[in-house]
Amino acid sequence: MPEPAHSFMLTIHVNGVERQVQVDARTTLLDALRDRLHLTGTKKGCALGQCGACTVLLEDRRVVSCLMLAVMAEGKQVTTIEGLARGEELHPVQAAFVEHDAFQCGYCTPGQIMSAVGAIKEGRARSDDEIREQMSGNLCRCGAYTNIVAAVRDAAAQGG
């Protein structure tokens, strides 16, 4: 592959593992994850910061990875959906999503789950109203919203 113009070698800590990744200055964190590191659990729904499908945690903060350049993540800790489960054991939010059928097609789901994990960590999932508000940046066209609220409520109660 010819050397792309303005290319950089970055170090990003993804799910606790130090990864080297060659990116273009224009590469988003989302495309770096999906196309360079083949961590395709993080989804692209709009690439415009409007749907939340690409949500990951950057140093424990929720970010839409399509609006962040990969170079901005240099040296940082990124947690993606692939980094939640411990082996076969699902993270409580993941387990609650399965139990409450909080998805249909599953395409918005990784983003929903990362948002929920972030919101619970921030202490912003204390009531159904708050969960609905905090989760409203994550669109679900299959309309699983009420099940998502039930799942997040459950996971938050277990300390998520």
Partner 1 sequence: MNAIIGQPVNRVDGPAKVTGHATYAAEFDLPGLAYAVMVLATIPRGHIRSIDRMAAEQAPGVLAVMTHEDAPRLAYKPIAQRPQVDAQSGEQLHVLQDPEVRFNGEPVAVVIAETLEQAVHAADLVQVEYARSPALTIFDATKGRPPSEGNVKAGRVPELGRGEVEAAMAAAPVRISARYVHPREHHNAIEPHVTIAHWEGENLTLYDKTQWVDNDRKEIAHVFGMEEERIRVISPFVGGAFGSALRTWPHVTLAAMAAKRVGRPVRLELTRRQLYMSVGFRPHSEQHLTLGATPEGKLVALEHEVVQQVGRYEEYAETALSPTSHLYQCDNLWARYRLVEMDTNSPCPMRAPGVVTGVLGLEMAMDELATELGLDPLELRLRNYAEQDQQKGLPWSSKELRACYAAAAERFGWSRRKPEPRSMREGGMLVGYGMATAIYHSDRSAGSASVALTGNGMAVVRSAASDMGPGTYTSMTQVAAETLGLPVSHVRFELGDTNLPFAPVHGGSITMASMGNAIVAACQAVQKKLAGLARAAQNGPFAGLPEEAIAAREGGLGRADGSGPVVPYAELLRQHNLGWVEAEGSAQPGEETQKYSSAAFGAIFVEVRVDEALGTVRVPRMVGAYDVGRVINPKTARSQCIGGMVGGLGMALEEQAEWDIRFGKVMNANLAEYLVPVNADVPSLEAIFVPNDDRNFNPLGVKGLAEVAICGVAPAIANAVYHATGRRIRRLPITPERLLS
Among ligand FES, partner 1, none, the one that 64 touches (CB under a kind-dependent 5 to 8 A) is ligand FES
How many CB atoms within 10 Å of residue 77? 15
Alpha-carbon radius of gyration of the chain: 16
The site map against partner 1 for 112-131 (x = CB under 8 A) is -x--------------x--x
- Examine residue 31 and tell whether it contacts partner 1 (CB under 8 A): yes
Q: List the structure tokens of 49.
A: 């910061």
Nearer to ligand FES, 53 or 84 (CB): 53
Which stretch in 21-29, 57-65, 71-79, 118-126 sits in contact with partner 1 by CB under 8 A? 21-29
- List residues binding ligand FES (CB under 6 A): 44-47, 49-54, 64, 66, 103-109, 140-142, 144
Would you say 91 and 42 are in contact if contact means Cβ atoms under 8 Å apart? no
Q: List the structure tokens of 105.
A: 């097609």
Q: How far is CA 75 from CA 78, 85, 145, in A?
A: 9, 23, 35
Percent composition of the chain: helix, strand, coil (DSSP 3-state, to 5): 35, 20, 45
* Residues in touch with partner 1 (CB under 8 A): 1-2, 4-5, 24, 26-27, 31, 34-35, 38-48, 50-51, 53, 80-82, 84-85, 90, 94-95, 97-99, 101, 103-110, 113, 128, 131-133, 135-149
